[in-house]
Structure 1
Amino acid sequence: MNSSKNKPIVVTMEIGNQLTPISCGHIIVELIKFIAYQRLQIPYTYQWLKQVVNKKKSCEDEDVKDSFQSERHFRAASTALENLDFILKSLQQEMNSPSLPEEVCITLGATPLTCKEVYRVLLPIACHKPQCQSTLIANDQKIHRSVFRTLVTSEKLSQIFFNQLSPTNLYVFIKKKLVNNQDNILNNDNFVFTSGCRIPRNSKIVVIDLRTKEQDHIACCNDFNVFGEVNEDLQNLHLEDSEENPDFFHEIESSDDVKWYQSSYVMKGFKDCIVDGSSVTNLWLNS
């Protein structure tokens, strides 16, 4: 293994057998919000960003003069929020489609070819049906607590989260298996096919594994709905060992069996705007 290539950080979460497609979508959405804020791509939490942008928009028709700094910051913040919301909405649609993505990949960098950090979320290849009444299915709040407690307390991630990352671009990719040799993306306006790329050798890679480890826990659903083609021998499911296959997590490339799709929207990160020692968003809230 080449020493110049960073070894991926793998965080495994034992919740795959408690998920439905809807809860998978909620996890992905909250993860992207978490990463965007944690890695300083947005200077406020998602909820605060939405609140201050909506407050500012509600005052646009009022005859109030605003500084150039404030207007420029509002354009950056509102555009970032719109693009992020589009990405999150289109992701949720794909998660609820007949073909659940195998993976969601978030890259941070000027371009995917020059990305600084990569977050690869491996999804279960099968989930409980939304209508399943099994007591094994965890509610969203329990799942969110489990996921984010693991992320926040992970010693593995502290080495990445400790170092600051300047605002850059946030790209989102999804990986889907071909079904009957057909393009199974739900909306080609939201996600466009990409041949993919090699991840830079010096990129920091975080792998969050949500895959189902115990099929018995989800066999409770009658006429169980399998998303995509599933190997009958589920004992073979395992996390690829980056030591044995060092290139596995260092590529996002389409093949004859799987296709990668890139979100048609990109979120551009931005810094806070400080005026007289305070965030300009405080002025928006008090206007």
Structure 2
Amino acid sequence: MSSCKVKPIIVNLNIGDQLTLISCGHVIVELIKFIAYQRLQIPYTYQWLKQIVNKKKMCEDQDKKDSFQSERHFLTASTALDNLDYILKSILQEMSGSSIPEEVCIALGATPMTCREMYRLILPTLCHKPQCHSPHIASDQKIQRNVFRTMVTSESLSQVFFDSIPPTNMHIFIRKKSLNNQDTLNSDCFEPTTGCRIPRKTKVVVMNFQTDNQENVSCCNEFEIFGESGNVDNLKPRREIDFEEFEEIESTDTMKWYQSTYVMKGFKDCVVNGASVTNSWNDS
């Protein structure tokens, strides 16, 4: 197998032993929101855009008529956010199930086979159960603060973010272990896919959540690992990254890839007479 023309960028987050299933889902969701904004797929932060879109929706029944540009932009923004919200909700469902994903993949491009950038989030093989009270567990805010601090201080990642890309499609994949050759999905958002070859010029960023810690970090006697009980012997060190494994997305008998049936279409802000049309939504 030939090597990738563009070598993947590896960012080791090393927070796996601090995560519960819930906090792991939350940080993945916030990362997807961050990437959407950072890579200019949405013109404002998710929180701000969600706020003004909801405000506009609440005023839709009023007699006030907006301009054609405003109404068209509202349709674009609200559709994109609705699709993104459904994807994020589905990822949280997958994280709360008996078989959590091993990887979440974000591909930016017209199609996955022509994507310009790809972000591959390697999840911990093991997370604390919700009722665990281990002192190693960190709060959602602390975890997210550590994750984003690592990202913004990464020199290699800043080089990727330095070059902007135009709005395009955001495709989401998850990779899960196949139990007895059966699908283990918890939501209706994802469907099985055979996968695809990643273009040689695609910029691939690998964010590794797995930990170096091999000690027992749980206050519980048992962990739940993909729905099965285990002990400290199941806790593996962070695996070494093999660059070749990120050349493609391919399902096997033991590992299945699933693609979101929803796609978020990126969009630019709509400016009329030097001002964003979203100003009128916020003033409604």
Q: What TM-score bracket applies, with the shorter chain setting the length? A: over 0.9
Q: SS where residue 191 of structure 2 aligns?
A: strand
- Contact 2:214–2:237 (CA<8 Å) still a contact in 1? no
Following superposition, the deviation at residue 153 of structure 1 comes to: 1.4
Give the 3 Å change call, closer, same or farther, for CA 49–233 of structure 1 in structure 2.
Answer: closer
Following the alignment from structure 2 to structure 1, what is the Cα–Cα distance between the partners of residues 135 and 235? 22
Following the alignment from structure 2 to structure 1, what is the Cα–Cα distance between the partners of residues 129 and 237? 23
Q: SS where residue 92 of structure 2 aligns?
A: helix
Following superposition, the deviation at residue 131 of structure 1 comes to: 0.4
Q: How does 1:83-98 map to 2 (within 5 A)?
A: 83-98=83-98
Following the alignment from structure 1 to structure 2, what is the Cα–Cα distance between the partners of residues 71 and 236? 52
Q: Which amino acid aligns with 2:14?
A: E
- Contact 1:105–1:173 (CA<8 Å) still a contact in 2? yes
Following superposition, the deviation at residue 275 of structure 1 comes to: 1.4
Q: Which residue does 1:255 correspond to in 2?
A: 252
Unpaired segments ≥5 residues, structure 2 = none
Q: Which amino acid aligns with 2:271?
A: I
Following the alignment from structure 2 to structure 1, what is the Cα–Cα distance between the partners of residues 12 and 238? 13
Following superposition, the deviation at residue 232 of structure 1 comes to: 5.2
Normalised TM-score (structure 1):
0.93
Following superposition, the deviation at residue 218 of structure 1 comes to: 3.0
Matched, 1:39 2:39: yes
- Contact 1:169–1:266 (CA<8 Å) still a contact in 2? yes
Task: Provide Cα deviations, 1:179-235, integer angstroms capped at 9, x if missing partner.
Answer: 233211112x21100000011010000000001322314344212211268895755
Q: How does 1:39-118 map to 2 (within 5 A)?
A: 39-118=39-118
Give the 3 Å change call, closer, same or farther, for CA 36–91 of structure 1 in structure 2.
Answer: same
Q: SS where residue 69 of structure 2 aligns?
A: helix
Q: Which residue does 1:197 correspond to in 2?
A: 196
Following the alignment from structure 1 to structure 2, what is the Cα–Cα distance between the partners of residues 233 and 70? 55
Task: Provide Cα deviations, 1:141-167, integer angstroms capped at 9, x if missing partner.
Answer: 100000001111111111110011100
Give the 3 Å change call, closer, same or farther, for CA 253–4 of structure 1 in structure 2.
Answer: closer
Following the alignment from structure 1 to structure 2, what is the Cα–Cα distance between the partners of residues 38 and 264? 23
- RMSD, matched Cα: 1.8
Matched, 1:132 2:129: no
Q: In the comparison of the two structures, how many residue pairs are matched?
A: 282
Q: Which residue does 2:223 correspond to in 1?
A: 224
Following the alignment from structure 2 to structure 1, what is the Cα–Cα distance between the partners of residues 236 and 80? 43
Q: SS where residue 215 of structure 2 aligns?
A: helix
Following superposition, the deviation at residue 237 of structure 1 comes to: 4.6
Following the alignment from structure 2 to structure 1, what is the Cα–Cα distance between the partners of residues 234 and 58? 56
Q: SS where residue 61 of structure 1 aligns?
A: coil
- Contact 2:39–2:164 (CA<8 Å) still a contact in 1? yes
Unpaired segments ≥5 residues, structure 1 = none
- Contact 2:196–2:248 (CA<8 Å) still a contact in 1? yes
Give the 3 Å change call, closer, same or farther, for CA 52–111 of structure 1 in structure 2.
Answer: same
Matched, 1:168 2:168: yes
Q: Which amino acid aligns with 2:159?
A: Q
Following the alignment from structure 1 to structure 2, what is the Cα–Cα distance between the partners of residues 203 and 167? 16
Give the 3 Å change call, closer, same or farther, for CA 234–134 of structure 1 in structure 2.
Answer: closer
Normalised TM-score (structure 2):
0.94
